Structure 1
Amino acid sequence: MAGTVVFDLDGTLADTSGDLIAAANACFQARGLDDLLDPMADALTAFHGGRAMLRLGYSRMARDTLLPPGAEEQDYPRLLDHYGRNIAVHTRLYPGVEEALRQLQADGVKLTVCTNKPEGLAETLLTELGIRHLFGGLIGADTLPVRKPDPRPYRAAVDAVGGTVAQSFLVGDTDTDRKTAAAAGVRVALVNFGPEGDAIARLGPDAVISGFAELPTLARKWLG
């Protein structure tokens, strides 16, 4: 079977929310504030990136707490620094990820990653999780001047493994992934084991995946 499967990272291959939330809370603590985000309740926001977490946390400050101008831009690199030093404390692969990736490889499918996590952090995390070697390519948020949902990172991820966009599809977990697939003109499968659960179907993906064991069969159907 020829073809390429492109994977998002956060919320798709691994539950990274705990370490992301911890990095945001470290920024709030440095300003003398309490932990403003909850690892469970705010997991969905974590998968939308560092700035989204900081904005949500700031919105929960007491009304009489003054925040210096530009706090978000000041804290964002601090968040990334803390996260980079504590990138795999709580993070875990979702069940069945490695088995599914190996089966896809056995079926002749090329595997690559397209994420809005900075490339260096994505490289580190995939290595820490023990699966970096299973992917032939990796495009991060800062690899190109643009990021998802612009289709160019997706195309670059496919090009990195010598694939063709026409014989590829995306596996993700957010509306950003759906929009990326639409812009690239490919199918998208969204996972429902993230924070949104079955509600992810509201985005109208081409398929919803309830577990990674389903992915090889879907790939045979779409790429076969």
Structure 2
Amino acid sequence: MIRHVIFDLDGTLVDSCRACMTIVEQMLADRGVPRRLDERRARTLISRGGKPLVRGLMGDACLDADADLAEFRSRYADSRTPETDLYPQVRQGLEQLVQAGLSLAICTNKPQNLCDAVLRDTGIAPLFDCVVGGREGLRAKPEPDLLGLALDRLGASASQCLFVGDSEVDHEVAHALAMPFLFAAWGYAQEGWNPHPSPRFATFGDVTRAIIALLEPEDARRYG
């Protein structure tokens, strides 16, 4: 029986694309190379991780990827994430899942301190029993380290969980641990990608209704 729902963060619960673009545009302007970034390209880079995102958006202005990533993360930590960056129906949907008796968790490659800040700023932190962000010593998704840590902290098996994510990376890590996967089609996946046979959802409200329906006696394996 499903007892826990684990969510990715960026592209699943929060649309962080504009915030990331603004920070990189500020970095470029400070270096004397002001540039308007392409949002479509930014969206394809976000799920690949911080370094590919910064390097991809900065282009030839990125001379030291590690230093530029550190600067990007420092600026991100100094910013605030408005509640309006939550995707539509996210807060209401999460509250409904908690009221239905489910335990909620986050598993994201976003560094733990930035993840905690985003959840706090948007006001949804109290809804989660477990928050696992990127950290030293554990490999990023799609490697199974972070999702495995989330399972350990929840005291759960993969069969007791659903993973809701928006990208190929999320699908791959869920598949590696044999965890049922629900595809958030509003996020940052490559255009046209579809994780068949996992179901595709157009809105967070659709995801919420599907999960609540699973609490009735029903076979969750169709979400594999």
**TM-score after normalising by structure 2:** 0.85
From 166, 170, 175, give the equivalent of 1:182.
Answer: 175
SS, match of residue 124 in structure 1: helix
Change (3 A) 1:167 1:90: closer
Shift of 1:105: 1.1
Please name the residue that 1:4 is paired with: 4
2:105 aligned with 1:96: no
Please name the residue that 2:148 is paired with: 155
Take 2:94 and 2:103, find their aligned partners in 1: how far apart are those partners?
10
Correspondences of 1:30-179 after superposition (within 5 Å): 30-35=30-35, 37-39=37-39, 41-59=41-59, 61=60, 68=63, 71-88=64-81, 92-142=85-135, 144-179=137-172
Shift of 1:31: 2.3
Change (3 A) 1:198 1:39: closer
Take 1:15 and 1:223, find their aligned partners in 2: how far apart are those partners?
28
Change (3 A) 1:12 1:178: same
Could you list the per-position Cα deviations for residues 5-37 of structure 1 after superposition, in whole angstroms to 9, with x for gaps in the alignment? 100000000101111111222222232212252
Change (3 A) 1:198 1:192: farther
Bigger CA drift: 20-29 or 79-88? 20-29
Shift of 1:51: 1.4
Change (3 A) 1:50 1:153: closer
Could you list the per-position Cα deviations for residues 19-64 of structure 1 after superposition, in whole angstroms to 9, with x for gaps in the alignment? 11112222222322122523455223234332122222343x4xxx
Take 1:152 and 1:222, find their aligned partners in 2: how far apart are those partners?
27
Contact 1:191–1:200 under 8 Å retained in 2: no
SS, match of residue 14 in structure 1: coil
Please name the residue that 1:210 is paired with: 202
Take 1:122 and 1:90, find their aligned partners in 2: how far apart are those partners?
14
Shift of 1:223: 5.3
Take 2:189 and 2:130, find their aligned partners in 1: how far apart are those partners?
28
Over aligned residues, Cα RMSD in angstroms?
2.4
Bigger CA drift: 189-198 or 126-135? 189-198
Change (3 A) 1:2 1:177: closer
Unpaired runs of at least 5, structure 2:
217-224
- Opposite residue 90 of structure 2, the aligned amino acid is V
SS, match of residue 110 in structure 2: coil
Unpaired runs of at least 5, structure 1:
none
What is the aligned residue count? 216
**TM-score after normalising by structure 1:** 0.85
Contact 1:117–1:141 under 8 Å retained in 2: yes
Take 1:130 and 1:76, find their aligned partners in 2: how far apart are those partners?
26
Take 1:152 and 1:145, find their aligned partners in 2: how far apart are those partners?
6
Change (3 A) 1:50 1:25: farther
Contact 1:116–1:148 under 8 Å retained in 2: yes
